Every structure is written in structure tokens, then in C-alpha cells.
Amino acid sequence: MSGRRPLIAGNWKMNCLRADGLALASGLAAKLSAAPDKPACDILLCPPATLLADVVGVLGHCDIHAGGQDCHFDQNGAHTGDIAASMLADIGASHVIVGHSERRADHGESSTVIRQKAIAAHDAGLIAVVCVGETEQERDLGAAISVVCGQMDVSLPEGATAENTVIAYEPVWAIGTGRTAAVEDVAEMHAAIRRKLKERFGDADGFRILYGGSVKPANAVELLGVDNVDGALVGGASLKVEDFWGIIDSCD
Ligand code: PEP
């Protein structure tokens, strides 16, 4: 047993108007309060920024965290449309996702920018969920591990610790496609990430490494049972109370 408490994080992406988002958050809060036993994992919801304050309000004092899906690397200033990490913290967020592959692809975010965002998150007192992952072409070329380790080298700041940083390994080709990585490949990658963390930070046993990519209740037990998989970053299946709760329930 690793002793690491799993984290199940829901990334709602650009989904949910207010009524749907609040129903989703309150549905999960109700599940939690009705559960006979406390879940064996931490739970995080990352709604769109427009809903974050309301979701924090709905969650109240229940043991579900809320986080942003991105932040800017600057503390404030002339960045129209962007959100500072301190603004997320100010409305009650505890985490922020940085470096999601959709940000890397849609907004051309480099690992250097992602490191700056992680630093901004830490400075604001947030836990940075730093995403890494290879494309299908990179995996086919046998370069998956070197690509992911290269992303970690640059994306993780010197100040990263097990307390302020979570790694999310998300093979790009598995996100939103219904395809998941083979458990052997997940095990190999998570072991490589753990080794890389040890090389860089010394004692890396406390870092949580999440798997992401089409996680759903039907495959969660298998994926969460893989060595060094310390939880999941969940997109599509986090949008339905029963599906997300099914994944939470898979942590035992
Ligand atoms: C994600 O958005 O990080 C993700 C893994 O999405 P999905 O679960 O839909 O593949």
C-alpha cells in the first residue's frame, strides 16, 4: 500500500450552464452526505470559471474541493479574458488544473508557460494539477515516456512538493475518445513518472499521480488498481452524478 489517498477530480471543461452545474454539484454533495461510509478518496470538481463561486457555495462545508481549469501566470494586469490564480483562491478554489492537453493544443501553451502557471498557483496557495501526456503519434513512435518526462522536466517548478502539486498523466489520444491506455502501459508510465519525480525532488513517495483519459465506472476499478495510479482526472464521466459517483466508489 502506498499510503497516498487517491484524488478523483472532475474536469467539467466548457460544459454546464448555471442550473445544470448547480444540480450536478448539489447531487454530488447529496451523495456524499447520504453515503454510509466516507469515500476512500479526496474529491475535486473543476467547473467552468463562471460557475466556480456558485459551486463553492453549493458545496458549503461538505468535503468536496473546487478548483479552476486554468489560470494566468501573472498576478494581475493587462490580460483580457484571463483569470489570476489569486482570483480563483479568492472565491474559494483549492486547486487549479494547468497544462491540460486541450490548453496546450487550443492555446499553444508550452511547458514553460505551464511551469509559470504552476508557480502562480503555488504563490496563490493553490494546489496545481499539472497535466502531461503524449499524442498517439508519439506513442506509436515509441516516444511516450521520453515525451512525458520531457514535459515534466519543464512544466514542474523547483518548488513543487507533494503538498502543492498533483501530476495528471493523460494520453492525449485517450481524452474524450472512449479509448483508454492499456493497464500495462499505464503502469509503465506511472512508474516512469514516479522515478522522474524521485530523481528531481528526492523523496517523491507522497506525490499523487492521476490517470486521465476516458475513465468511467466500468474501467475505474481496473485503472485505479494499477501501481502508482493515485486517482483519476475525469472529463465526460464527471458530468453525470451517477457516473462520477461510480468512479469515486471504485476507490477502496
Ligand atoms: C480530461 O478532460 O482531462 C479527460 C480525461 O476527459 P475524458 O475523461 O472525457 O477523457
Q: What is the ipTM of this complex?
A: 0.97
CA of 78 to the centre of ligand 1 (A): 31
100 catalytic per annotation: yes
CA of 197 to the centre of ligand 1 (A): 23
Give the pLDDT score at 2. Answer: 72
CA dist 87 and 26 (Å) reads 23
CA dist 175 and 121 (Å) reads 24
> Which among 104, 106, 211, 234 is the best mutation to test ligand 1's pocket, defined by most ligand atoms within 8 Å of the CB?
234
Q: Under CATH, which number does the domain 7-249 receive? A: 3.20.20.70
Q: Beta strand pairing status for 127-132 and 165-169?
A: parallel
> Which among 214, 219, 229, 239 is the best mutation to test ligand 1's pocket, defined by most ligand atoms within 8 Å of the CB?
214
136 catalytic per annotation: no
State the pTM of this model.
0.97
108: left (phi over 0), alpha (psi -120 to 50) or beta: left
- The residues of the chain scoring below 70 in pLDDT are 1
Q: Is 206 known as a binding-site position?
A: no
CA of 236 to the centre of ligand 1 (A): 6
Count the neighbouring beta carbons within 10 Å of the beta carbon of residue 192.
18
**Ligand 1 atom 8: residue of nearest CA:** 235
Q: Is 11 known as a binding-site position?
A: yes
Q: Is 155 known as a binding-site position?
A: no
Atom of ligand 1 nearest to the CA of 216: 8
Give the pLDDT score at 192. Answer: 98
CA dist 120 and 164 (Å) reads 12
CA of 202 to the centre of ligand 1 (A): 30
Q: Which residue has the cell 456558485?
A: 54
| Residue ranges of domains in the chain | 7-249
Give the pLDDT score at 1. Answer: 45
Secondary structure in 3-state letters for 186-221: HHHHHHHHHHHHHHHHCCCCCCEEEEECCCCHHHHH
